[in-house]
Amino acid sequence: MSESKKASAGFTADEKAAMRERAKEQKVAARRGADDAAALEDVLAKIAEMPDADRAIAERIHALITTTAPHLAPRTWYGQPAYAKDGKVLCFFQAAAKFKTRYSTLGFSDEARLDDGVMWPTSWALTGMTPADEKRIAGIVKRAAG
């Protein structure tokens, strides 16, 4: 079993690495302030580092979000692409390779306006994307971003 998958009383190595990455992101953001261009560069760099399958999905997600909800600010969150509204992460992409899972994830925080009764999904598993999926994701993003 890999180091990142070993059961323990604490966090896995991958989880610890993600937390260190988040702490680093916060320090960088505090130093440079609200530099949207630098934050976008960070997001594009993280996408470029991904394995081919994850990168293809992340590029499409990025394009969909920035086109559908251009008022959302791209930034990294736990080392992954995320999109914020009023300084709070609204949605994020998590590459399958990040935690060695079988699918990537498009997730939404409680800032997203996805409420539907007393229960609704806040994340979707992605193994690829068709034009129909892109249309559905664009609708979800538009609704979430309000």
Tens digit of pLDDT for each residue in 79-119?
A: 999 999 999 999 999 999 999 999 999 999 999 999 999 99
Do residues 66 and 75 lie in contact, with contact meaning Cβ atoms separated by under 8 Å?
no
**Domain ranges across the chain:** 11-145
- The sign of the CA dihedral 36, 55, 103, 27 is negative
Do residues 50 and 95 lie in contact, with contact meaning Cβ atoms separated by under 8 Å?
yes
CATH code that applies to domain 11-145: 3.90.1150.200
Tell me the average pLDDT of the chain: 90
Residues of the chain by 3-state class (helix, strand, coil), percent to 5 = 50, 20, 30
CB atoms within 10 A of CB 121: 10
- Which DSSP symbol is given to 97? G
How far apart, in whole angstroms, are the C-alpha atoms of residue 83 and residue 90? 6
Residues above pLDDT 70, as percent of the chain: 88
Residue 3: what pLDDT? 47
One-character DSSP codes across 32-86: H-S-HHHHHHHHHHHHHHS-HHHHHHHHHHHHHHHHH-TTSEEEEETTEEEEEET
Residue 88 β-bridge partners: 85
